[in-house]
A and B are shown apart, each in its own frame.
Chain A
Amino acid sequence: QQQVKQSPQSLIVQKGGISIINCAYENTAFDYFPWYQQFPGKGPALLIAIRPDVSEKKEGRFTISFNKSAKQFSLHIMDSQPGDSATYFCAARGADKLIFGTGTRLQVFP
């Protein structure tokens, strides 16, 4: 019940395309859903986050869509750029603890 399931494991997108990463959870007590971006040799960095009382949040090219009834949330990267190539992790917070998904390796080709 503490798991966060993330898909796909890897994603290849053409420059200018839309990248979509999906996550699902079971624990309805989770109260905060962040997405992290990690480059090789670096620690994860917060990209964007949402709370369960909001269905969508947009920051620049990055959008989180949240479906509370389905217990699913997704990250959309519009106009994907080669600089977006990284590993993306969804996460969910419960009892002051972040539970991370298994990650999606995104490659954006010119």
Chain B
Amino acid sequence: EAGVVQSPRYKIIEKKQPVAFWCNPISGHNTLYWYLQNLGQGPELLIRYENEEAVDDSQLPKDRFSAERLKGVDSTLKIQPAELGDSAVYLCASSLGPNNEQFFGPGTRLTVL
């Protein structure tokens, strides 16, 4: 069974530029999560989707971050404009439901110069 797929794996951009990350969850998983992981820290939830509905986006900085999960499958996380402090690993995870085991993708490492 294929795991959670994320792309790109690495991204280097100049500050103020836009950037987008893509996630393909495990087939059949209705719940999708985006996490932010700073160096030396644990993952922090940015947004959780149940199918195509964002049910918890309280930690998403909505002035510059946006996310979508069209058709309840793949998801895209966007930052516009990026700031130096956005340099981190962005992890996507999926689960059958909100109380089931979460499976994480390998993450996208973003470097903002």
Contact = CB atoms under 8 A, between A and B. Distances in A.
Is B truly associated with A? yes
B42 A43 contact: no
A102 B105 contact: no
Nearest to A49: B101
Give the interface size bracket for A toward B: 10 to 19
A interface majority secondary structure: strand
A103 B56 contact: no
Interface in B85-113: 91, 93, 98-99, 101-107
B81 interface: no
B42 A91 contact: yes
25 contacts: A6-B42, A41-B106, A42-B106, A43-B93, A43-B104, A43-B105, A43-B106, A43-B107, A44-B91, A44-B104, A45-B103, A45-B104, A46-B101, A89-B42, A89-B43, A93-B99, A96-B48, A96-B98, A97-B48, A97-B56, A98-B43, A98-B45, A100-B42, A100-B44, A103-B41
